[in-house]
Amino acid sequence: MVERVQPGDAIHPGKPVTVDRYGVGARINHWITAASLILLGISGLALFDPSLFFLTALFGGGQNTRALHPWIGVVLFLSFFIFFFQLWRANLPAKVDWVWLSKFRDIIGGHEENLPELGKYNAGQKFIFWSMTFLILVLIASGIVIWEQYFAEYITIPVRRIAVLAHSIAAVLIICIFILHVYAAIWTRGTLRAMTRGSVTGGWAWRHHRKWLRELAGQRKIGPAE
Ligand code: HEM
């Protein structure tokens, strides 16, 4: 069975009812990942095209940007995968995801009453999760191949050319996925507090992830009143 309820999730009675969604550790993990992706995007774009070279000023010039960019990539890789192992089960595809996706008009139109009840994540969130996972793997693997300071002598020039292309394509795609993720987090009202305060309101959980809420209630995951 797909695991939807995670260890720290719990309902707190009160006005309004709140539901824990991310613990402190997961949130710190998320924001380190977010900050490193933003820094990677800026420093990567600075190295990508001469018209964006001025962005290297933010990192102390061209040489420093070139030296720092791969290390920030290592931070992103490590922090994302620590986060990944906490979340992957809840992001496994389920049959209901296809039903939810087939009702695209109702999703866009905000007719949630026509949508099936969902666990902790919807198909859009799962898509973003697995896309990030795949693209970060491509970025780290191709990044190591083109990290000349340490690996130049082990890699041939034709292989490095392919890696540069793969690295650039994956970077453009992850920037698109990032924009989609931030847009969805802001567009779905009440979502941002899940990653700032760690909890959502009972109403938000009822509206968007009712199966998750029902399962928490069913398993008596009830914390103190807030
Ligand atoms: C400023 C940028 C960002 C904002 C405002 C933001 C916001 C959020 C919010 C509000 C959630 C909770 C959604 C929910 O539980 O329903 C979330 C979850 C998540 N975020 Fe971000 N995020 C940002 C950047 C990133 C970046 C750069 C990454 C990865 C490279 C990332 C990866 C994730 C993942 C994996 C989840 C868990 C969702 C899942 O497992 O399906 N986020 N984010």
Interval between CA 152 and ligand 1 midpoint (Å):
34
pLDDT of amino acid 217: 96
74 confidence band (pLDDT: 50, 70, 90): very high
Stated length of the chain:
226
Q: Which two tokens stand for residue 5?
A: 């309820």
Domain of residue 168, residue span: 11-104+114-218
Catalytic residues: 181
**Does any domain span residue 162?**
yes
Cα 163–chain centre separation: 24
CB 55 within 8 A of CB 40: no
State whether the beta carbon of 132 lies less than 6 angstroms from ligand 1.
Answer: yes
- Domain count of the chain? 1
d(CA 129, CA 132): 5
C-alpha torsion 185→70→88→209, nearest 10: 0
**Does any domain span residue 3?**
no
Q: What is the mean pLDDT of residues 28-32?
A: 98
The edge-to-edge listing of strands for the beta sheet with 18-20 is: 10-12, 18-20, 199-201
d(CA 153, CA 148): 8
Tell me the per-residue pLDDT of 100-113, one tens digit each, with 9 for 90 and over. 999 999 998 889 88
Substitution candidate for ligand 1 out of 181, 187, 188 with most atoms within 8 A of CB: 181
State whether the beta carbon of 4 lies less than 6 angstroms from ligand 1.
Answer: no
**Does any domain span residue 22?**
yes
State whether the beta carbon of 182 lies less than 6 angstroms from ligand 1.
Answer: yes
**Does any domain span residue 44?**
yes
